[in-house]
Amino acid sequence: MAKVAKKVIIDLPGLGRVESVQNSGRFNPGGVNRNPISTDTGSVHFDEETAPAQISFKAPNLPGYLEQLRNLAGVNVNVQDDNGQGWIITGAFTTKPSELQNGEISVEMQGSPAESI
């Protein structure tokens, strides 16, 4: 039987490997959204738009983390699961200020669609 990946490991500029709270990581590599377009004759076509990569996780409130995590913009983020599959998100940025609750910092980021590495 194969091992199932359950962890998302994040490397961020200035912080290195971020210790995320167990099972708090969520990663969407992005790509393309397709929207249906129907014609009067009943044919259905589609248009496309770029969908950004999205990542969210919770990190423990370690010294200096909150200040650095809330101000990330224009960074390259390396995302890896515990099976070793890696992705890079370029031009990533936090989408809203990080929130501190119960000793955990919530982080939400987006960037260009992720590329497998």
> Which are the contacts of 38, defined by CB distance < 8 A and separation ≥ 6?
44, 45
pLDDT at 19: 75
Domains in the chain, number: 1
Domain that holds residue 112: 8-116
In a domain, 32, yes or no: yes
Q: CB neighbours (10 Å) of residue 8?
A: 19
CATH number at residue 69: 2.40.30
In a domain, 2, yes or no: no
- Under DSSP, is residue 69 helix (H, G, I), strand (E, B) or coil? helix
In a domain, 54, yes or no: yes
Would you say residue 108 has pLDDT above 90?
A: yes
pLDDT at 46: 92
In a domain, 88, yes or no: yes
Task: Report pLDDT digits (tens) over 5-62.
Answer: 667 788 888 888 887 888 888 899 999 999 999 999 988 999 999 999 999 999 999 9
In a domain, 1, yes or no: no
